[in-house]
């Protein structure tokens, strides 16, 4: 994957903390590549164990919507089911969100000894980053994100390199070597 040059800038923002935001980002569910949805369904027995009891039927995990998406391998995406959740930010939540504000897909991957994002959809891992028109990783609409109480971003007192703010995601998508190379090339001069 490639980066939009915007991610080489520094901005006064930092990431949220799960204890404070309580997974507000899971409010609207997520689009999943068809292959991601198949992998989840192929691992039902493992994942179901970590789902809330009322959501253990895999037939209720996707809402039936399907769309084209040029940025995923299969070029098609399906949407996770979104449930009413009066105690969650905005009153709704992705079917995979647990009461402890953790994602059942991530908990299942951890339990299986996999990378925590093994079952996580691409767009979940990417958030709050986005893709530009060319499919490069970017960040936009920061003003809206920083003003939104349930956002994954919070104002910071000083500018922080976006490469640092989003290190975990960028290392995952780019690989350690490419990430480290970008970091070294974009260090401020002393």
Q: Where are the domains of the chain?
A: 10-185
User: Please, what sign has the CA dihedral across residues 58, 124, 27, 134?
Assistant: negative
pLDDT, tens digit, 9 for 90 and up, residues 131-171: 999 999 999 777 767 777 767 788 889 999 999 999 999 99
Q: What is the pLDDT of residue 17?
A: 73
Q: What is the pLDDT of residue 167?
A: 94
pLDDT, tens digit, 9 for 90 and up, residues 45-65: 999 999 988 999 999 999 999
Whether 1 has a pLDDT exceeding 60, the answer reads yes
Q: How confident is the model at residue 189 (pLDDT cuts 50, 70, 90)?
A: low
User: Is the link from the previous residue into 128 a cis peptide, with omega within 30 of 0?
Assistant: yes
Give the rounded percent of residues in the chain with a pLDDT score beyond 90: 71
Q: What is the pLDDT of residue 188?
A: 62
Cα–Cα distances in angstroms (integers) from residue 134 to residues 68, 119, 138, in the given order: 16, 25, 10
Q: What is the pLDDT of residue 72?
A: 95
pLDDT, tens digit, 9 for 90 and up, residues 87-122: 888 899 999 999 999 999 999 999 999 999 999 999
pLDDT, tens digit, 9 for 90 and up, residues 61-94: 999 999 999 999 999 999 999 999 998 888 999 9
Whether 19 has a pLDDT exceeding 80, the answer reads no
Specify whether the CB–CB gap between 153 and 12 falls below 8 A. Answer: no
Q: How confident is the model at residue 190 (pLDDT cuts 50, 70, 90)?
A: low
Give the number of other CB atoms < 10 A from CB of residue 82.
17
Q: How confident is the model at residue 25 (pLDDT cuts 50, 70, 90)?
A: confident
User: Please, what sign has the CA dihedral across residues 20, 93, 120, 113?
Assistant: positive
Mean pLDDT, residues 9-16: 87
């Amino acid at each position: 994957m490639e980066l939009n040059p915007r991610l080489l800038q520094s901005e006064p923002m930092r990431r949220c903390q799960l204890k404070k935001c309580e997974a507000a980002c899971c409010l609207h569910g997520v689009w999943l590549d068809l292959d991601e949805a198949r992998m989840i369904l192929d691992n039902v027995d493992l994942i179901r164990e970590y789902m809330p009891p009322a959501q253990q039927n895999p037939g209720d995990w996707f809402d039936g919507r399907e769309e084209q998406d040029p940025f995923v391998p299969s070029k098609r995406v399906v949407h996770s089911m979104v449930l009413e959740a009066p105690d969650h930010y905005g009153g709704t939540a992705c079917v995979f969100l647990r009461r402890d504000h953790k994602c059942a897909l991530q908990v299942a991957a951890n339990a299986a000894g996999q990378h925590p994002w093994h079952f996580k959809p691409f767009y979940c891992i990417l958030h709050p980053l986005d893709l530009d028109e060319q499919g490069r990783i970017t960040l936009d609409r920061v003003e809206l994100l920083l003003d939104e109480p349930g956002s994954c971003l919070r104002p910071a007192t000083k500018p922080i390199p976006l490469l640092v703010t989003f290190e975990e995601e960028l290392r995952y998508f780019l690989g350690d070597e490419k990430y480290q190379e970008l970091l070294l090339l974009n260090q401020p001069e002393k």
